[in-house]
Amino acid sequence: MSVTSVPGFVAAGTACGVKVSGADDLAMVATADGTPVTAAGVFTSNRMTAPPVLVCRDHLSASGGRAAAVILNSGNANAATGATGRVDAETMCALTAEAVGCAPHEVLVCSTGWIGYPLPMDRIAPAIPTVVAALDADGGPAAAVAMMTTDKVPKTTVVTGSTTAGGAFTVGGVAKGAAMLEPNMATMLAVLTTDAEVDPATATDLLRDAVGVSFNCLTVDGAESTNDTVLLLASGTAGPVDTADLGIALSDACRDLAVQMADDAEGSTKTVFLTVTGAATDAEAAKGARDTANCQLVKCSWYGEDPYWGRIAAEMGAAGITFDPDTITITYGEQVVYAEGRACDVDEQALAAHMAGRRLDLGVDLGQGDGTAWIVTTDLSHAYIDENMRTS
Amino acid sequence: MSVTSVPGFVAAGTACGVKVSGADDLAMVATADGTPVTAAGVFTSNRMTAPPVLVCRDHLSASGGRAAAVILNSGNANAATGATGRVDAETMCALTAEAVGCAPHEVLVCSTGWIGYPLPMDRIAPAIPTVVAALDADGGPAAAVAMMTTDKVPKTTVVTGSTTAGGAFTVGGVAKGAAMLEPNMATMLAVLTTDAEVDPATATDLLRDAVGVSFNCLTVDGAESTNDTVLLLASGTAGPVDTADLGIALSDACRDLAVQMADDAEGSTKTVFLTVTGAATDAEAAKGARDTANCQLVKCSWYGEDPYWGRIAAEMGAAGITFDPDTITITYGEQVVYAEGRACDVDEQALAAHMAGRRLDLGVDLGQGDGTAWIVTTDLSHAYIDENMRTS
């Protein structure tokens, strides 16, 4: 049920001492024979881009979209570490390449954890041969565990589809986040594998589209990390596939991981699915959905299980998008709470039952056009503050 | 020390029963003789514009920028109330006009409180003659109290300047907010008075500029209310003034009220002054400052008195503005904590002492150009959640 559910891929997780707790903090996903395969990545747009992200971009460019392995550490983000950070990320790739038997630019690297501290390379470097030696066809779940920071549970997925020839292809994935870590930075990392045949350019396009309808529709606190990375390795051993079919499988895998992230977000007691319809454009729907999902006031009311639609309406109004207060309709679960410019009579018991659930479904129809957006987010709880008010 | 510090203005506050607590909830500011004077307003840009805001805009347009009185209620925002809300706001103005002795369109109206419930006009209407009868040259502080919602203290200001002829002019003010109310909506209301001579068009320009450097530089939680309103009444009895001098006095008065709002914001334990310099443009500086000020993660660290600059850097990076990680400098109080791409050695004791204070000074220099911005904001505390997680 992870990256190693795909034939031809191996993975491992181990502890190398980056985390003072002694928990696993070094993970690898690789091809079983060390052969480079099609590789694609989608990265954070944060200007404080962490060195491992810069190295991934360079390596994908130098290799023409090929990679044999991904090395990941948790506990330290290797971010805001300047030239030293760059050297450390390159060293992690070089040591991995040596042990796996590929070129250094055929290795990708991810880090997640504290910002602003150099990596403890004296602990990471000697552990790289160890994690390579531990690579196993059942190692995906161990890799998912070693990626974790404040995650309470590891996140894995597997999705299947049909190849052009009528056979099966598989997409597997491991991920961590999207909540703060250590407990200070929202970083999401995901590594996907597939045996579908796809060229690097198409893989990149499909991965970007899949991220657009999944991880980019997830917001916990509006904070975009310096390290956010989604990688795909595609071996092609299952043969050719219809591009659309692979796109659907990748989107399904990414959406599954994104919802797992929301369910496990720091301090979260509610996973909230917010759908905006009837916007003038998709972009306006997305703006309204994202601003509302990131509004502290709205998040507090979800935590309090309070169906106070006034906040939703006010936040939509503040989003700078087109609508008329008299044409907006707001729905909590099955209950229409606001329509035609006024509060509606509701089944109070049914509404309270919906608000008390672990997952909330909210709908806003703006009554303007065909623009739609979907977002998954979380509430804002005392526990979120507890986890984030101090770094030590 | 308020609107009635300006000669020729009267004010009052009373209880009419909108608030179930019985606290004062009806306020008025007016000219002493009921004569209309120059009036200007700056209003929320929220699309869910509340009826009293719509009525203010109409009245300022119909009167050519003249008003004799402002009637304000707290406890109910008269927002998302459709056609009924519009009629109620007009009725408040008509009843005030009748009692004061001016035309209905020479009255402005503000409401603040719950969204989505019709005003209890059966309680407000009979109290309007009462509040008019109570108008007094010392009534400003009482008006400030009657505007309060979850404010813990009333907010007033007075600023003086010199007229062209060498005499004195005064700007007085009362305000409420900017925190949630009742406890559900961030609304800020302010009424300013002055005896400076100014025409309506100039008054509007000066008021907009003053709001731009004060209330618009204040963010508690990024939520823009449906009802935000700043009004100015200018009698002209002190004679002509230099436009720049009046602008400075208005800006000082608004800035004083804005800082009082931050100090009294719901659940706030820190008032944070964040200055961004060295940006490519003022607009980029403002974007970086606002995004950082509204970041939940950053706010939690202020609450925890944790000088974790990694969050500040990451949020600036996510703001989509131009800078290089190696040229950004971050300062807490007098301490430079990050510069030239790496963490700096700091005086830990001095840094801890600064973080423990009621007010924090943070600086970010982006090393790009001359763009600057200033923002005042608050931390995110357990008490904020307590006040906002449930409406009842």
Record: contact B342-A391, CB cut-off 8 A: no
Per-residue pLDDT tens for B230-253? 999 999 999 999 999 999 999 999
Q: What is the CATH number of the domain that holds B149?
A: 3.60.70.12
Residue type, A147: M
Compute the average pLDDT of residues B304-327.
Answer: 88
The average pLDDT across A22-31 equals 97
Do A204 and A117 have their domain in common?
Answer: yes
Residue B150's nearest CA partner among B315, B316, B391 is B391
CB B97 within 8 A of CB B107: yes
User: Do residues B225 and B249 touch, judged by C-beta distance below 8 A?
Assistant: no
The mean per-residue pLDDT over the stretch B372-388 comes to 87
Q: List the single best residue of B228, B295, B296 to mutate versus A (max A Cβ within 10 A).
A: B296
pLDDT attached to residue B117: 87
Give the pLDDT score at A391.
63
**Amino acid making up residue B281:** T
Nearest-angstrom CA–CA distance, B16 and B126: 8
User: How far apart are the C-alpha atoms of A377 and A221, rounded to whole Å?
Assistant: 8
With beta carbons under 8 A apart, name residues in chain B contacting A306.
389-391
Tell me, yes or no, whether A206 and A317 share the same domain: no
Report, as an integer, the average pLDDT of B173-202. Answer: 79
One-letter amino acid for residue B279 of the chain? A
3-state secondary structure of A344: coil
Q: Rounded mean pLDDT of B153-173? A: 96
Q: Which of A32, A232, A236, A35 is nearest to A136 (CA)?
A: A32
> CB count, 10 Å around CB of B152?
10
* Mean pLDDT, chain A, whole residue set: 91
Q: Distance between CA A133 and CA B104 in Å, rounded? A: 84
What string of DSSP letters covers B126-181? HHHHHHHHT-BTT-HHHHHHHT-SS-SS-EEEEEEEE-TTS-EEEEEEEEE-SS-S
Q: Is A223 a residue whose pLDDT tops 70? A: no
Chain segment A320-366, per-residue pLDDT in tens: 899 888 889 999 999 999 998 888 999 999 999 999 999 999 999 99
Indicate the pLDDT class of residue A186, thresholds 50, 70 and 90: low
Tell whether B88 and B174 lie within a shared domain. Answer: yes
- Distances in whole angstroms, Cα of residue A149 to Cα of each of A153, A154, B241, B306: 10, 10, 62, 20
- Amino acid B181: pLDDT: 36
B304 CB near a chain A CB, below 8 Å? yes
Examine the domain organization and report whether A231 and A285 are in the same domain.
no
Answer yes or no: do B80 and A224 touch at CB < 8 A. Answer: no
Tell me the Ramachandran region of residue B94: left when phi exceeds 0, alpha when psi lies from -120 to 50, beta otherwise.
alpha
Question: Residue A20, class by beta-carbon neighbours within 10 Å (0-12 exposed, 13-18 middle, 19+ buried)?
Answer: exposed
Q: If contacts are CB pairs under 8 Å, which of residues 105-164 in chain A contact chain B?
A: 114-117
Predicted local confidence at residue A178, as pLDDT: 60
Q: What span, in angstroms and rounded, lies between the C-alpha atoms of B332 and B308? A: 10
Pairwise CA distance, residues B181 & B92, whole Å: 21
Amino acid (1-letter code) at residue B251:
S
- Shared-domain flag, residues A39 and A178: yes
Supply the pLDDT for residue B174.
Answer: 96
- Do residues B162 and B217 share a domain? yes
Q: Do B300 and A82 touch (CB under 8 A)?
A: no
- The SS3 call for residue A44 is coil
Domain-terminating residue out of A263, A282, A315? A263
Q: With the C-alpha atoms ordered A279, A281, A282, A285, is the resulting torsion angle positive or negative?
A: negative
B180 has pLDDT over 90: no
pLDDT on residue B179: 54
Confidence of residue A110 (pLDDT cuts 50, 70, 90): very high
- In the predicted model, is pLDDT for residue B178 greater than 70? no
CA atoms within 13 A on the CB side of A326: 6
- Taking an 8 Å cut-off on Cβ atoms, the answer to whether A47 and B115 are in contact is no
Secondary structure element (H or E) that encloses residue B210, with its range: helix B200-212
Ordered strands of the A9-14 beta sheet: A9-14, A26-31, A69-76, A107-114
Q: Taking CA atoms, what residue in A is nearest to B79?
A: A310
Per-residue pLDDT of A360-378, as tens digits, reads 999 999 999 999 999 888 8
- Which is more confidently placed, A184 or B63? B63
Q: Is A187 a catalytic residue?
A: yes
> Which of B191, B161, B197, B187 lies closest to B173, judged by CA?
B191
Q: Which of A186, A221, A317 sits opposite B48 (nearest CB)?
A: A317
List the strands of the sheet with A189-197, edge to edge: A66-67, A37-43, A229-240, A189-197, A168-176, A155-162
Longest dimension (CA), chain A: 68
Angle at CA of residue A48, ends A46 and A50, nearest 5°: 95
Give the pair of three-digit tokens for residue A372. Answer: 């739609």
Domain that holds residue B123: 3-263
Q: Does B318 touch chain A (CB under 8 A)?
A: yes
The residues, ordered by sequence, that sit 6+ positions from B348 with a Cβ below 8 Å of its Cβ are none
User: What are φ and ψ of residue B340, in 5° steps?
Assistant: 50, 40
Question: Are the C-beta atoms of residues A84 and A91 closer than 8 Å to each other?
Answer: no
Same domain as A227, residue A326: no
Residues B290 and B167 in one domain: no
pLDDT of residue A221: 67
Instruction: Tell me how far apart the alpha carbons of residues B64 and A359 are, in angstroms, rounded to a whole number.
Output: 52
- Rounded to whole angstroms, how far apart are CA atoms B30 and B206? 21
- Residue A200 reports pLDDT greater than 50: yes
Please give the residue of chain A at the shortest CA–CA distance from B337.
A116
Q: Find the DSSP H helices in A117-272.
A: 121-133, 140-146, 200-212, 243-263
Active-site pick, A38, A187, A229, A271: A187
Model pTM score:
0.80
N-to-C CA span, chain B: 35
Which CATH number covers residue B352? 3.10.20.340
pLDDT band at B315 (very low <50, low <70, confident <90, very high): confident
Provide the ipTM: 0.73
Average of pLDDT values for B204-231?
Answer: 85
pLDDT at site A224: 67
- Nearest CA among A113, A294, A116 for reference residue A187: A113
pLDDT of A182? 36
Question: Do A254 and A108 have their domain in common?
Answer: yes
Greater confidence (B88 vs B325) lies with: B88
Question: Total structural domains in chain A?
Answer: 2
What strands lie across the sheet with B37-43, from one edge to the other? B66-67, B37-43, B229-240, B189-197, B168-176, B155-162
CB-based contact B184 A308, cutoff 8 Å: yes
Decide: A180 and A388 in contact? Cβ < 8 Å. Answer: yes
Instruction: Report, as an integer, the average pLDDT of B127-135.
Output: 98
Query: With a CB-CB cutoff of 8 Å, which residues 42-61 of chain B face chain A?
Result: 45-49
pLDDT > 80? residue A392: no
Final residue belonging to a domain, choices A224, A246, A263: A263
B31-44: per-residue pLDDT in tens?
999 999 999 999 98
Residues of A in contact with B340 (CB under 8 A): 82
Last residue of a domain, one of B211, B229, B263: B263
Instruction: Tell whether A103 lies on the interface with B, counting CB pairs under 8 A.
Output: no
Structure tokens at B149: 């919602």
**Mean pLDDT estimate for chain B:** 91
pLDDT tens readout for residues B264-280: 887 889 999 999 999 99
Average pLDDT over residues B202-219: 90
pLDDT at A184 over 70: no
* Contact residues, B window 242-301, toward A, CB-based 8 Å cutoff: 294-297, 300-301
Provide, rounded to the nearest whole percent, the portion of chain A with pLDDT above 70. Answer: 96
Q: Exactly one of B112, B163, B187, B229 is catalytic; which is it?
A: B187
Taking the CA of residue A93 and the nearest CA in chain B, the distance in Å comes to 23
Say whether both B175 and B294 belong to one domain. no
Largest pairwise CA distance in chain B: 68
Inter-chain contact A314–B46, Cβ cutoff 8 Å? Answer: yes
Residue A96: per-residue pLDDT: 98
Q: Are residues A201 and A345 in the same domain?
A: no
- Same structural domain for residues B85 and B215? yes
The tokens describing B90, both together, are 């007009």
**pLDDT exceeds cutoff 80 at B391:** no
Chain A, nearest residue to B222 by Cα? A295
A-B contacts (CB, under 8 Å): 220
